[in-house]
Chains A and B, each alone.
Chain A
Amino acid sequence: MRKQILFWVSLFATISMAGSAWAADRGRDGELKLLYWQAPSTMMPYLSGGTKELEASSIVIEPLARYDNDGKMWPWLAEEIPTVENGGVSNDFTSITWKIKKNIKWSDGSDLTSEDVVFTYEYCTHPDTGCTQSNYYNDIVSVEALDSHTIRINFTVAKPFPYSAFVGYNAPILQKAQFENCVGAKAQECTEENFHPIGTGPFKVVDFKPNDVVVLEANSNYREEGKPAFSGVLFKGGGDAASAARAVLETGEMHYAWNLQVEPEILNKMAEGDSKGTIIAGFGTAVERLMVNFTNPDAALGEDRAEYLGGNNNRNAHPFLSDYAVRRALSLAIDRQILVDAGYGFAGKISCNVLPAPAIYASTANDECKTQNVDEANRLLDEAGWARGSDGVREKDGVRISILYQTSTNSVRQGTQAFIKEMWKAIGVETELRNIDASVFFGGDIGSPDTYQKFYADIEMYTNTFSGTDPEAYMNSWTCKEVARRSNNWGGNNMPRYCNPDYDALATQMSKTANLDERIRLAKSMNDMLMQDYAMIPLIHRGGVSAYSNDLMGPVGNEWDSELWNIADWHIHK
């Protein structure tokens, strides 16, 4: 741990030394202009968990520990990361004890104490608050303040990975004095507090215009001398991704632009020649994948449409996707490199896993998918008895391989759809494309037939990811009890309606395993089982793309936490 801290200090030193030869005054570099084309609607991450709100609030309020751009955890407001070795985590994994750094002040000058941490837990777990991050506080019996700077969290079960409460930008610490009267139903009405939370971070909110702009100034009580280098931040929102890139790379009006998911040639064109900025990509766990429907989505089935009915071999099995050969052929027919080149550029890598990161969890057992193999795909289909009809579309026993392939509206996704349709044509598969407005597709309205949960299609495409670095909850998504169905209002996470007792057994085993190596082995084999059963067809390991101006030093990109996690160290290169 000491070694890590040393590294940390030296990393900070290098970054700041690179810019100016000597440490200088706080606020020396003027205003930092950030452009988020999706504007934050509030500064309170516990009431709106969208990434834009989390990013904006991350420069004001902070957690006990943060992840860096490699997914490594660092103590932030805490003295150190508690482990079993240093006695911070109990041997049976049922409690964790955090020590807060001394002398940390809120921006109003008062001291940060363990009372604030305990309060944050109470705030988010109050049933009427409607806290969007409450799953970070799951399985907790109590959070107690042992003294003014020590907190112990007691769990209901053994938690092999006890670092979710108060860790990362999803679960920062609130000031008790400010939010004391905003707990429960009152949380909704505390507009003033929600828009101007008092924090320990490098900046504090001066003016907040929801869905438009946040004006911040340097926190004069920030714990590190000479930081932040900027006197304030203008956090502007609105517009679209391509023009956000333009504002940094071409006109140079802004220092930093976030989440630039546009076609790579557009970004490259802007970044070439005497561009005013640079593009960076950070990789996390996001994988763009095709979900395969194991149930029959035929509208004629009425209530039972795309409904998992279980029973022997799944009574409502999909007419052709329940055939392993078809699923495997669909994956083999795809040339993933073309999808990367046309839609993602350096912000995408071919992926054959749904669990591509952290590196220790990445499996190499499924690399077959890296190369397109149309001949093998055709051979598989021929062998399985799917013969080409007169129009070139394969069929067997009157069932045609005709796929309805849906995704959200987004130019890159529509490009991918067009490519895949063409690639599947080569193996005699007919595809009808459908795009649905993102607010409907991801909206989850149980009245709408077009949500990704209802999955009234054969194949659907989207990106999924998990927060933090522990994949247990994520891998649990594809167990039988998570199947999205009518009885749980399509609230399960298992969209393919994949149900395999062997997989469930691995999941159960993982929940009881504490040893890291063993957990890695289990996670990998769960991933391999999903991949080799073709329950999902992974396509691209996606990175987050950002652009920053040439004179700005500090941004490194981060998909595990806020991209602004190290904003205290950002400065202008002189």
Chain B
Amino acid sequence: MVQYIIRRLLSAIPTLLIISFVIFAILDLAPGDPTGNLPMTVPPEVREKIRLSLGLGEPMHIRYYKWLVQFFVNEPLNIIEHSFGIVIGDGENRTRILSWATRSPVIDLIVERTPQTLWVVGLSYLFGILMAIPIGIIQAYRQYSLFDQIGTFVAMIGFSVPTFFTGVVAIIIFSVQLKWFPMIYDTTLEVNSWNNFVLQVKQMIMPVTVLAFYQASQLSRFMRASILDNLNLDYVRTARAKGRKENAVLMIHVLRNSLIPVVTLIALGIPSIFGGAIITEQIFRVNGLGQLLIIAIQGADIPTVQTLTFLFAVLIVIFNLIADVLYGMLDPRIRYD
């Protein structure tokens, strides 16, 4: 197993390099221009000067190389310097990855936005899983019961009605009519007192619920299907025949086997937490990583999009490895060597 993990980690390096290049190439090809957001009153020759000041005058491979150096050498060195308070080499003149829109280091932007994204998207994901697994189990175990039918119906609504709609409905009901929760997420709120903690919970309830509902609808379907597949297998019959309690059969044998495909999905979903939830973040003005990405894409802020997407790719590769390792643990029959 250890050997397998090491082999996978080594193979991840060329994979990620290829991914980073493909992303860069796509962003370079994509239409859009960093001066596109400027008002029309800004004349073309000024726009050209701005492009040059951003380094767009250089050919693509040079820009890609510069980004690679900044990402893999300069930024890590910068983090080391900051965390240990030491100076390595020429720290003053080392260029960092600068966002074209804000002219500030992209890494700082990401660090600034991570807390609200983790709070809102991460929590909703956690709640979504916590809801989906038991619901899926009960639905499968009591297939075609009333609970199952209602669960199915609600889940279908959950993933066929998109969050841009449920979010607005939630705002109209809970902010406009009932006045329970604020519709605007305040990112400057510091949780340093009980009062602020209550405020934080209040402003998180709507975005978290809307997202968790959506996540749980999808996951519960897979959970239900997976349990159903296992319930009729021979080993379940054998376990029952041996006189094991129904609960034990269900929780030990069936659940363990059913979790295999679900684990893939959960592991796959974790990187997407860091991708943020673009629509939900926009609606409630959470302004996390999802909003950062969409604004950067719209503004053709290539350094930001490139860095965010690449970090996302790293997480995907890591979590897929984790999923594969988990498979091996959940199902001893799967062999990787």
Q: What is A's interface to B at a CB cutoff of 8 Å? A: 35, 39, 41-42, 44, 47-51, 127-135, 185, 187-191, 194-195, 207, 209-213, 215, 234, 236-240, 243, 246-247, 250-251, 253-254, 437-440, 442-445, 447-448, 450-451, 464-467, 488-489, 491-493
Cβ distance B51 to chain A, nearest Cβ, rounded Å: 8
- Cα–Cα distance between A187 and B297 once the two chains are bound (Å): 23
Name A50's contact: one of B39, B103, B292, B300 (CB within 8 Å): B39
Residues of A with C-beta under 8 A to B175: 250-251, 253
Residues of A with C-beta under 8 A to B38: 48-50, 132
Q: Are B47 and A491 in contact (CB under 8 A)?
A: yes
Q: Are B43 and A191 in contact (CB under 8 A)?
A: no
Task: Count B-side interface residues using an 8 Å CB cutoff.
Answer: 58
Residues of A with C-beta under 8 A to B45: 491
Binds A, one of B4-12, B121-129, B282-290: B282-290
Q: Are B31 and A445 in contact (CB under 8 A)?
A: yes
A-B pairs, top 9 by smallest CB distance, nearest first, are: A130-B53, A491-B44, A448-B31, A443-B36, A210-B102, A212-B287, A191-B104, A238-B285, A439-B298
Q: Which residue of B lies closest to A130 (CB)?
A: B53
- Cα–Cα distance between A493 and B41 once the two chains are bound (Å): 9
Indicate if B105 sits at the interface (CB-CB under 8 A). yes
Indicate if B52 sits at the interface (CB-CB under 8 A). yes
Q: Which residue of B lies closest to A492 (CB)?
A: B44
Cβ distance B169 to chain A, nearest Cβ, rounded Å: 12
Given A243-B171, A445-B33, output 15 extra A-B contacts at Cβ < 8 Å.
A48-B101, A130-B52, A130-B54, A134-B49, A189-B98, A209-B112, A210-B99, A210-B101, A213-B186, A239-B284, A443-B33, A445-B300, A451-B31, A465-B40, A467-B39
Which of A234, A240, A444, A450 counts the most chain B CB atoms within 10 A? A444
Q: Are B184 and A253 in contact (CB under 8 A)?
A: yes
Q: Are B184 and A236 in contact (CB under 8 A)?
A: yes
A130-B53, A234-B188, A251-B179 given; A467·B41 CB < 8 A: yes
Q: Are A49 and B295 in contact (CB under 8 A)?
A: no
- Cα–Cα distance between A49 and B285 once the two chains are bound (Å): 23
Residues of B with C-beta under 8 A to A209: 112, 187-188, 287
Cβ distance B190 to chain A, nearest Cβ, rounded Å: 11
Indicate if B48 sits at the interface (CB-CB under 8 A). yes
Cβ distance B103 to chain A, nearest Cβ, rounded Å: 5
Residues of B with C-beta under 8 A to A213: 186-188, 287
Residues of A with C-beta under 8 A to B40: 442, 464-465, 493
A41-B101, A444-B33, A447-B29 given; A243·B53 CB < 8 A: no
- Cα–Cα distance between A247 and B285 once the two chains are bound (Å): 11
Name A440's contact: one of B31, B46, B285 (CB within 8 Å): B31
Residues of B with C-beta under 8 A to A188: 53-54, 98, 103
Cβ distance B324 to chain A, nearest Cβ, rounded Å: 37
Q: Which chain B residues in 97-131 approach chain A with CB under 8 Å?
A: 98-99, 101-105, 108-109, 112-113
Residues of A with C-beta under 8 A to B52: 130
- Cα–Cα distance between A375 and B283 once the two chains are bound (Å): 47
Name A238's contact: one of B168, B287, B299 (CB within 8 Å): B287
Q: Are B46 and A251 in contact (CB under 8 A)?
A: no
Instruction: Kindly supply a per-residue 1/0 record for chain B positions 264-292, scoring 1 wherever the CB is within 8 Å of any chain A CB and 0 otherwise.
Output: 00000000000000000111110100011
Residues of B with C-beta under 8 A to A135: 41-43, 46
Q: Which residue of B lies closest to A191 (CB)?
A: B104
Q: Which chain B residues in 42-77 approach chain A with CB under 8 Å?
A: 42-50, 52-54
Name A439's contact: one of B32, B54, B176 (CB within 8 Å): B32
Indicate if B182 sits at the interface (CB-CB under 8 A). yes
Q: Are B35 and A444 in contact (CB under 8 A)?
A: yes
A130-B49, A464-B40 given; A447·B31 CB < 8 A: yes
- Cα–Cα distance between A207 and B112 once the two chains are bound (Å): 12
Residues of B with C-beta under 8 A to A195: 104
Name B109's contact: one of A210, A246, A443 (CB within 8 Å): A210
Q: Which residue of B lies closest to A51 (CB)?
A: B39
- Cα–Cα distance between A483 and B182 once the two chains are bound (Å): 50
A243-B168, A491-B45 given; A253·B31 CB < 8 A: no
Residues of B with C-beta under 8 A to A445: 31-33, 36, 300
Q: Are B285 and A239 in contact (CB under 8 A)?
A: yes
Which of A49, A191, A443, A488 counts the most chain B CB atoms within 10 A? A443
Residues of B with C-beta under 8 A to A491: 44-45, 47-48
Residues of B with C-beta under 8 A to A443: 31-33, 36, 300
Residues of A with C-beta under 8 A to B291: 211-212, 238
Q: Can you list 6 pairs linking A and B with CB atoms under 8 Å apart?
A: A127-B49, A195-B104, A238-B281, A251-B183, A443-B36, A447-B29
Q: Are B53 and A129 in contact (CB under 8 A)?
A: yes
Q: Are A450 and B285 in contact (CB under 8 A)?
A: no
Residues of B with C-beta under 8 A to A464: 40
Cβ distance B113 to chain A, nearest Cβ, rounded Å: 8
Indicate if B37 sits at the interface (CB-CB under 8 A). yes
Residues of B with C-beta under 8 A to A215: 188
Cβ distance B199 to chain A, nearest Cβ, rounded Å: 12
Residues of A with C-beta under 8 A to B171: 243, 246
Name A246's contact: one of B33, B113, B176, B299 (CB within 8 Å): B176
Residues of B with C-beta under 8 A to A437: 298
Which of A195, A247, A251 counts the most chain B CB atoms within 10 A? A251
Q: Which residue of B lies closest to A43 (CB)?
A: B102
Instruction: Kindly supply a per-residue 1/0 record for chain B positions 115-152, scoring 1 wherever the CB is within 8 Å of any chain A CB and 0 otherwise.
Output: 00000000000000000000000000000000000000
- Cα–Cα distance between A444 and B56 once the two chains are bound (Å): 14
Cβ distance A469 to chain B, nearest Cβ, rounded Å: 13
Cβ distance A204 to chain B, nearest Cβ, rounded Å: 16
Q: Are B44 and A47 in contact (CB under 8 A)?
A: no
Q: Are A439 and B37 in contact (CB under 8 A)?
A: yes
Q: Which chain B residues in 208-259 approach chain A with CB under 8 Å?
A: none
Cβ distance B261 to chain A, nearest Cβ, rounded Å: 36
Residues of B with C-beta under 8 A to A50: 37-39
Residues of A with C-beta under 8 A to B46: 131-132, 134-135
Q: Are A254 and B184 in contact (CB under 8 A)?
A: yes
Cβ distance B232 to chain A, nearest Cβ, rounded Å: 49
Name B300's contact: one of A189, A240, A439, A467 (CB within 8 Å): A439
Name B104's contact: one of A49, A210, A247, A251 (CB within 8 Å): A210
Cβ distance B257 to chain A, nearest Cβ, rounded Å: 44
A49-B39, A237-B287, A489-B44 given; A250·B101 CB < 8 A: no
Q: Which residue of A lies closest to B292 (CB)?
A: A211
- Cα–Cα distance between A464 and B35 once the two chains are bound (Å): 16
Which of A238, A442, A464 counts the most chain B CB atoms within 10 A? A238
- Cα–Cα distance between A48 and B100 once the two chains are bound (Å): 9
A135-B43, A491-B48 given; A211·B105 CB < 8 A: no
- Cα–Cα distance between A195 and B31 once the two chains are bound (Å): 29
Q: Are A211 and B102 in contact (CB under 8 A)?
A: yes
Cβ distance A438 to chain B, nearest Cβ, rounded Å: 8
- Cα–Cα distance between A49 and B182 once the two chains are bound (Å): 32
Q: Which residue of A lies closest to B109 (CB)?
A: A210
Q: Are B299 and A439 in contact (CB under 8 A)?
A: yes
Q: Which residue of A lies closest to B38 (CB)?
A: A49
- Cα–Cα distance between A351 and B45 once the two chains are bound (Å): 31
Q: Are B103 and A191 in contact (CB under 8 A)?
A: yes
Q: Are A243 and B31 in contact (CB under 8 A)?
A: no
